[in-house]
Amino acid sequence: MSIYSTQAGLEGVRLYSIGDLAQEFGISPRAIRFYEDQGLLSPQRLAGNRVYTHRDHARLVLVLRGKRLGFSLADIKEMLDLYDADSEHQEQLRVSLAKGRKRIRELERQSAEITATLAELRELEAKAVAMLRDRESEGEEPSRLAAQEGSKP
């Protein structure tokens, strides 16, 4: 549940507690404090408690999206910090585009590796099944071999 501040300098500003953010995003308060330590969030203090503004809320959305997409926290911080440094946001867009394209290439490479690994595993599986059937037809412990073949997921 967010609150609205009446403190000087924060009048009428919507504020979130660490618990509010943790609950909304399904993460722990410890994770939020970690992002704070990494310079990704900058809470203010109100009566000794951390309070987060709409800006922190928006940055947390972007941090979590960046993590989900596989960006490092350093990359996320660089992209977020560029937002404040360039009022036109051109450099932020350039950097984000370059990092996004790099991530796409990494994921495409990983996808190709996974596809090749799956093909190789399927080939090994087919050979093993064929060998089991051959041995079974030769009379080598048919019940045990059949049980092993049937244990595939």
Checking if the pLDDT of 10 tops 60, the result is no
pLDDT in tens, 70-95: 999 999 999 999 987 878 889 989 99
At the top level of CATH, which class does the domain 1-72 belong to? Answer: mainly alpha
Checking if the pLDDT of 32 tops 90, the result is yes
- Gap between the terminal Cα atoms of the chain: 46
Question: In terms of DSSP H, where are the helices of 50-89?
Answer: 54-68, 73-85
Higher pLDDT, 58 or 145: 58
Which range has the top average pLDDT, 14-18, 64-68, 78-82, 90-94?
Answer: 64-68
Model confidence at 11, pLDDT cuts 50, 70, 90, reads low
